[in-house]
Amino acid sequence: MAEAKIDILGPNDLSLVLSMYNDVFKPPREQSFFERRLDGRKHTLISVASVDNREAGFLLGFELKPNVFFLWLLGVLPDFRRAGVGTQMLEAADAWAIEQGFASMRFECQNRVRPMLHMAIRHQFDIAGIRWDSDRSDNLVIFEKQLA
């Protein structure tokens, strides 16, 4: 397992996340995509993982509603997959959400993204539902867990 350093960033650091996002997800996005989604959100979390001083992944989330933290995006660069980086980022987000007073954490994942589905179950998330995402023409599995 790679030892990742997790740093919490501010909204002015979105360009770093944008670069990694476009290496992980398609279609590529502009910075305004992130700014619009995070605009006016409370308790935003923007974090970046690095391994040996190289960016390895990112995580973005925000308050969905009182007491519920929504993990919006989690991405790990291809060179660092299956090395525990995603797990370490998720654990850091758990700790941060607990410190902020959240009672639960929620996220959605495309049904076809098996590594994320497996990670959710390993980390005690329950399936809370399924919804159809018309933008991607795919089912999204909704995961939620209670925080300690």
Amino acid at 18: L
pLDDT of residue 1: 81
* C-alpha count within 13 angstroms, C-beta hemisphere, residue 21: 19
**Maximum C-alpha span of the chain:** 39
Q: How confident is the model at residue 124 (pLDDT cuts 50, 70, 90)?
A: very high
**Residue entry with tokens 């329950």:** 126
pLDDT of residue 50: 97
Domain 5-106 in CATH 3.30.210.10: no
Give the global pTM.
Answer: 0.93
Q: Answer whether residue 2 shows pLDDT above 90.
A: no
Q: Answer whether residue 131 shows pLDDT above 90.
A: yes
For the stretch 22-79, pLDDT in tens is 999 988 999 999 999 999 999 999 999 999 999 999 999 999 999 999 999 999 999 9
Q: Answer whether residue 137 shows pLDDT above 90.
A: no
More confident residue, 133 or 69: 69
- Rounded-to-integer distance, Cα 9 and Cα 74, Å: 14
What's the rounded mean pLDDT across residues 115-133?
A: 95
Report the chain's mean pLDDT, rounded to a whole number: 94
For the stretch 99-111, pLDDT in tens is 999 999 999 999 8
- Rounded-to-integer distance, Cα 122 and Cα 18, Å: 28
